[in-house]
A = this chain, B = another copy of it.
Amino acid sequence: MNQRSFIHSKNLQTIFYPKSVAIVGTNKVKGTVPGDIFTNILGAELNGIVYPVSPRESFISGVKAYRYVIDIPDPVDLAVIVFPSSVCNMALEQCGQKGIKAVIIISAGFKEVGEKGLQKEKELIEIARKYDMSFIGPNCLGVINTDPLSRLNASFARKFPAEGNIAFLSQSGALCTAVLDYAQAKNIGFSKFVSFGNKADISEIDLLYYLMDDDQTKVILLYLEEITDGQGLIKAAQDVIQKSHKPVLIIKSGRTSAGASAAASHTGSLAGSDEICDVAFRQAGIIRCDNIEEMFNIAIAYAYQPIPKSDKIAIITNAGGPGVLTTDAAIKSGLKLAKFSEETTLILKRSLPAAANIKNPVDVIGDAKADRYIASITAAMNDKDVGSIIVILTPQSMTDIETIAKEIAVAAKRFDKPVYASFMGEADVAAGIRILQNHHIPHYILPESICNPLVTIYNFNQKIRSGENREIENTDVNAEIVESVLLDAERDNRTYLPEYLSVKVIEAYRLPVIENRLAKSDNEAGVFADEIGFPVVMKVMSDDIIHKYDVGGIILNINSKEEAFQAFKTINEQVKKAMPEAIIDGIYIAKQIPKGTEVILGIKKDPSFGSVIMFGLGGIFVETFKDVSFRVAPVSKMEALKMINETNASKLLAGVRGMPEMDIESIADAITRLSQLAINFPQISELDINPMIVLEKGKGSFVADTKIILQKST
């Protein structure tokens, strides 16, 4: 944690729990932002003192007003600035002088309006640094804290939401008002509600760390338009998820327009940067959502109900059709139907009419009243194979909707298995839905919509519990060798490493390079080849030659000392003839690799998320089908195996069609080593291993060709 982060974390506590708040730049005009914000904070009954600061008024709503914030005689914890942007900076300066550390800047007119605004925004940051202040905004809707210890509504939102354990963070202010309205209608409460606007000072990363330790918060939702520090965001989300076990749900907009600015390097061209964002989120355990509805569907399931202990569901319905559709959706999303025990079956048989379906999905039939629902829910709750229960209701003329809703709530409290409900229709079922929502039974308009949230929560919890993806460092690497190679290159202003140096780098990280030497004379060639063992391959080494084959710079299948001796001469002669001006560093001699399956590995740089590791099977699979997978470094061995399995072509490594199973473990090992190299040496901007030859299981792999490109030193 750097110094600013430390200051933010202290000041955020003051932002959410101030004992005194100054509304700087307020006025008496209702229906305007400066006016409404004072009405809102007073109306929410803050657990503390509110001071209006207004150059023109001596009181507002009966509360004594001050001309400037420095005129307030008592200490002030939090300032909320609503002045026009022209005087914002002056106001922030005065807050600093007054000793206020926590600030929310509602005012717009900064970065979002262009260069001039950006300049003013930079000044704000300088002022904040000078006084060790932290601020949220500018250009935001404000901050809400429903905790009774605070009851802060420092926003111009129309509504103060209900208390709850969902935190909502948004870069878009306008979206916040829609969300508050949506949530109120569904009786969804919030712990903290933050519109952070231009995030000039306090960012979503600081907020994530704050919410990690916030006892009021169980789930964190984040709407994000712009990722400024991808690696920081990933680290923060990972910390939150692993340390506090709170799920982090993110909507990241701009899916399709993104990617344009992605680096156009070879491996880079295979993935749009939104794909990298997807991968990075998944690796961190972040649940990425496409829209607000999907986000809240998951959030209420997590916030309101216990976590399902198994992925087996029971469905109880009074209409066959929706039962079948829900079964389809459940299976499709990866859930399973529980298989009832004999006892459960017996109870259902006794409790339901003959025409009912007592198998899962249970159909209590259209004329069912509450008694059949109670009997079925209780039986399912008591059945060991059932992990969670989905209750579906359609409004028939005899259905006692409200009683059934109440009984579902009672059952949910009695047992520790989660219950989700869908009362289908609208006006007829409204009262029942309201009862469910008041009792925190997650309700969905369509029963099918329950399945994805359920499986998402289950998987999230499984992943946390398994502690999977903890990456273990390879300790047998030699960073000093790489350090010295890269320093030399930097000194020489080289960005492209010659092959023998590229090999030296990956060899230092114990990637499976083949035994090799650089011969400077025909005699050396003979000796080295003999030491390596035959057959060998010989290649010319020269910075001036890119296409070695074309100039006769490569000879394969060399089987004796004598042949190696001759080959040295032949290569030299051929190359000199083809490119007389080329400077030859020597002839590279390496063991010839047996046949195997070709794979491609690589490192590329993503502008937001840093080093990305790429894997693909060689040949048509990369070139024609773009069948490759990506991970943001670091990559654990387990993650590397997943990465390999993700490609379609990986089936060919597993030993189909009578082909032998190949050494997949050795690929995964190579990936973790590449990942470690990428993390230790971020100046590597691109690394291509193309191909690596994978042998049969147990026999390892060999890198056949490597290329490393470094970042331009600045």
Cα distance A366–B174 in the bound complex, in angstroms? 6
- Neighbouring B residues of A322 by C-beta, 8 Å: 172, 174-175, 178
By CB atoms of chain B within 10 A, which of A181, A184, A292 has the most? A181
Is A245's CB within 8 Å of the partner chain B? no
| Distance of A647 from chain B, by nearest CB (Å) | 11
Cα distance A320–B176 in the bound complex, in angstroms? 12
Interface hits, A159-209 → B, CB 8 Å: 170-175, 177-182, 184-186
- Neighbouring B residues of A398 by C-beta, 8 Å: 31
> Are B624 and A253 within 8 A (Cβ)?
no
Q: Which of B182, B425, B429 contacts A424 (CB 8 A)?
A: B182
Cα distance A76–B322 in the bound complex, in angstroms? 37
> Are B448 and A291 within 8 A (Cβ)?
yes
A-B contact pairs, 26 of them (CB 8 A): A108-B355, A112-B355, A156-B397, A172-B320, A173-B366, A174-B394, A177-B396, A178-B322, A178-B394, A180-B425, A181-B424, A182-B426, A185-B425, A185-B426, A223-B321, A225-B320, A225-B321, A251-B325, A253-B325, A254-B324, A254-B328, A255-B332, A290-B325, A620-B652, A623-B656, A625-B648
Is A260's CB within 8 Å of the partner chain B? no
- Neighbouring B residues of A251 by C-beta, 8 Å: 325
Is A29's CB within 8 Å of the partner chain B? no
Chain A interface residue bracket vs B = 35 or more
Cα distance A293–B424 in the bound complex, in angstroms? 11
- Neighbouring B residues of A648 by C-beta, 8 Å: 625
> Are A181 and B395 within 8 A (Cβ)?
yes
| Distance of A329 from chain B, by nearest CB (Å) | 8
Is A331's CB within 8 Å of the partner chain B? yes
Is A235's CB within 8 Å of the partner chain B? no
- Neighbouring B residues of A179 by C-beta, 8 Å: 425
Interface hits, A196-244 → B, CB 8 Å: 223, 225
Is A257's CB within 8 Å of the partner chain B? yes
Q: Which 8 A-B pairs have the closest CB atoms?
A: A174-B319, A181-B425, A185-B426, A172-B321, A178-B424, A175-B321, A256-B331, A253-B324
Cα distance A331–B429 in the bound complex, in angstroms? 36
Is A158's CB within 8 Å of the partner chain B? yes
> Are A324 and B225 within 8 A (Cβ)?
yes
> Are A321 and B31 within 8 A (Cβ)?
no
Nearest CB in chain B to that of A324: its residue? B253
- Neighbouring B residues of A1 by C-beta, 8 Å: none
Is A546's CB within 8 Å of the partner chain B? no
Q: Which of B172, B174, B327, B426 contacts A184 (CB 8 A)?
A: B426
Q: A181-B428, A257-B327, A328-B256 are in contact. Are A397 and B225 (CB under 8 A)?
A: no
Cα distance A322–B292 in the bound complex, in angstroms? 10
Is A481's CB within 8 Å of the partner chain B? no
Nearest CB in chain B to that of A623: its residue? B657
- Neighbouring B residues of A172 by C-beta, 8 Å: 319-322
Cα distance A370–B397 in the bound complex, in angstroms? 43
Q: A170-B321, A185-B427, A428-B158 are in contact. Are A177 and B327 (CB under 8 A)?
A: no
- Neighbouring B residues of A522 by C-beta, 8 Å: none
Copies of the chain in the assembly: 2
- Neighbouring B residues of A184 by C-beta, 8 Å: 426-427
Cα distance A424–B174 in the bound complex, in angstroms? 10
Is A669's CB within 8 Å of the partner chain B? no
Is A318's CB within 8 Å of the partner chain B? yes
Is A446's CB within 8 Å of the partner chain B? yes
Nearest CB in chain B to that of A427: its residue? B185
Cα distance A424–B170 in the bound complex, in angstroms? 16
- Neighbouring B residues of A319 by C-beta, 8 Å: 172, 174-175, 178
- Neighbouring B residues of A327 by C-beta, 8 Å: 256-257
| Distance of A442 from chain B, by nearest CB (Å) | 17
> Are A171 and B290 within 8 A (Cβ)?
no
| Distance of A83 from chain B, by nearest CB (Å) | 17
Q: Which of B158, B254, B293, B425 contacts A446 (CB 8 A)?
A: B293
Is A651's CB within 8 Å of the partner chain B? yes
| Distance of A262 from chain B, by nearest CB (Å) | 17
In addition to A174-B318, A175-B394, A177-B425, 12 A-B residue pairs with Cβ atoms within 8 Å of each other are A158-B397, A158-B428, A173-B366, A174-B322, A175-B322, A175-B424, A225-B324, A253-B321, A255-B328, A290-B325, A624-B657, A625-B651
Cα distance A394–B180 in the bound complex, in angstroms? 11
Cα distance A251–B322 in the bound complex, in angstroms? 11
Nearest CB in chain B to that of A331: its residue? B256
- Neighbouring B residues of A606 by C-beta, 8 Å: none
- Neighbouring B residues of A624 by C-beta, 8 Å: 651-652, 656-657
Nearest CB in chain B to that of A425: its residue? B181
Is A431's CB within 8 Å of the partner chain B? no
Is A445's CB within 8 Å of the partner chain B? yes
> Are A427 and B257 within 8 A (Cβ)?
no
| Distance of A13 from chain B, by nearest CB (Å) | 28
| Distance of A194 from chain B, by nearest CB (Å) | 15
Cα distance A656–B113 in the bound complex, in angstroms? 48
- Neighbouring B residues of A657 by C-beta, 8 Å: 620, 623-624
| Distance of A490 from chain B, by nearest CB (Å) | 38
